[in-house]
Amino acid sequence: MVESYKELLKGVHEIEILNSSEKDLQRISTERSLGLSTEEMLKIQGHFKKEGRNPTDIELEAFAQSWSEHCCYKTSKPILERTVFSIKAPQNICVISEDAGVVDFNKDYAYVLALESHNHPSALDPYGGAATGIGGILRDVVCMGAQPLALIDPLFFGPLDYPEGEVPSGVKHPSFLFKGVVSGIADYGNRVGIPTVSGMVYFDKSYVGNCLVNVGCIGIVKKDKIARSRAGNPGDIYVMAGGKTGRDGIHGVTFASAELDEDSEKKDIPAVQLGYAIMKEPLMHACLEINEKGLLTGMKDFGGGGLSCVASEMAHAGGKGAVVNIDKIQLKEEGLAPWEIWVSESQERMMLSVKPENV
């Protein structure tokens, strides 16, 4: 934990953008791994010109997380709105707007479904990337108040016998990726006690440059215990539960849309999260027990964008604001800058919204 708030503020820096040219703005985005286009940087510049000040590094990083494709679906959302989002199904209790879909099962129960990909992390670190993919999809189901029951894993790789000399620079051989991904999924699932009951593996040369690692989870929840990924009532307290915060996973969401190249292993490996399944297993049970006792007014997992996204998304969904004391966050190591604490994607963390008397 940071020694004092005053000490923490010394690590917050102003980023000069008000008088920056388009070239300078793009340089800032590239050097800080923000993943923002020149047009997006110009929009941010315009906002702070109205404010009459430069942004802090924390604010600039927050924009990068929230505006990433991973978090806001800025290119795919219009397509989804015309197709998937427009589907009306009477059995859907809660879909699209939450971390996982909740669908009617019977009079008393609903089942919860989630599916996502963890492609780029798995391309750099197949074991760790696949394992944390499982960890993330489990959290998505748990934060709806559901007990995870089973996992699935549709996987897509290049041919296992693909010529070594034809693999693009900076890309790992399909055989290496395949073995690591399967091991990562199996090991993480075993440690948390959730079986992988279905899946598929498809091999084609079109996946040599970028493997697809999809993971899914199904769970069950009592209808009167469905949790929502939002802040509850005015005056409620944010409680961060689970693992400590470190430098692992920083810029994970911006890296997710980056093109893999020969430098990726060196410059992007910090964006790959580090899983800790032994922490996840008791964390899941604790969150579900707390929810069962009616002590929560909201719950959301720490995924892409870390604290930056979970705190703001829960507050926004609840129509509220929030004060976050990042100096109280438990850290894995000393020396993290405030912006690193804000966007770290360290695993096995959950955000709870709780009434003050229930803390």
Q: Is 70 a catalytic residue?
A: yes
Contact 136, 130 (CB under 8 A): no
Q: In terms of Cα–Cα distance, which of 247, 255, 251, 249 is closest to 210?
A: 255
Say how far apart CA 35 and CA 26 lie, in whole Å.
Answer: 9
Q: Side by side, which strands form the sheet with 298-301?
A: 237-242, 349-354, 298-301
Q: Residues 13, 118, 251, 285: which is the catalytic one? A: 118
Give me the torsion for CA of 317, 115, 170, 255, rounded to 10°.
Answer: 0
Other CB atoms within 10 Å distance of the CB of residue 254: 27
Angle at the Cα of 300 from the Cα atoms of 295 and 301, rounded to 5 degrees: 125
Q: How far apart are CA 214 and CA 216, in angstroms?
A: 7
Kindly write down the DSSP assignment for every residue of 203-259, as one continuous string: E-GGGSSS-EEEEEEEEEEEGGG---SS--STT-EEEEEESPB-STTTTHHHHTTSP
Sign, CA dihedral 231-243-271-16, equals positive
Which amino acid would we find at residue 233? N
Q: CA angle, 284 as apex, 280 and 289 as ends, to 5°?
A: 150
Look up residue 86 and give its two tokens.
């427009």
CB-CB contact of 298 with 352 (8 Å): yes
The alpha carbon of 172 is separated from its chain's Cα centroid by a whole number of angstroms, namely 24
| Sequence letter at residue 164 | E
CB 35 within 8 A of CB 64: yes
Would residue 118 show up in a list of annotated catalytic residues for this protein? yes
Positions marked active-site: 70, 118
